[in-house]
Homo-oligomer: A and B are copies of this chain.
Amino acid sequence: MRIAEMTFVEYEARLRETDPVVVIPAGALEQHGPHLPLATDAIIPTRLAEMAAPRINGLIAPAFTYGVRSQPKSGGGEHFCGTTSLWGSTYALMLSDVVQAFGRHGVKKLVILDGHSENQHFLVEGIERALIELRRDGITDMRVIRLGYWTTISQSVQDVLFPTGPVNWDLEHAAVMETSVMMHLEPGLVRLDKIPDEPMAVFPPYETFPLDPRPIPSCGALSSARAATAEKGRVVVDSLLDDFATIIPSAFA
> Is B7 a contact partner of A32 (Cβ separation < 8 A)?
yes
Residues of A210-250 whose CB lies within 8 A of B: 210, 220, 247, 250
Closest to A39 in B: B4
The CA-CA distance from A8 to B83 in the complex, in Å, is 8
The CA-CA distance from A143 to B8 in the complex, in Å, is 28
Which A residues are within 8 Å of any B CB, using their own CB? Answer: 3-9, 11-12, 15, 29, 31-39, 42-43, 61-63, 65-66, 69, 71, 80-90, 92-94, 97-98, 101-102, 105-106, 111, 118, 120-122, 124-125, 127-129, 131-132, 135-137, 143-148, 151-152, 189, 191, 194, 204-210, 220, 247, 250-251
Q: Enumerate 25 A-B pairs (CB-CB under 8 Å) in ascending A order.
A: A4-B43, A6-B38, A7-B31, A8-B31, A8-B33, A8-B81, A11-B82, A29-B61, A29-B62, A39-B62, A62-B66, A66-B97, A81-B106, A86-B94, A87-B129, A88-B125, A89-B125, A90-B93, A128-B209, A143-B209, A144-B208, A144-B209, A146-B207, A151-B205, A204-B250
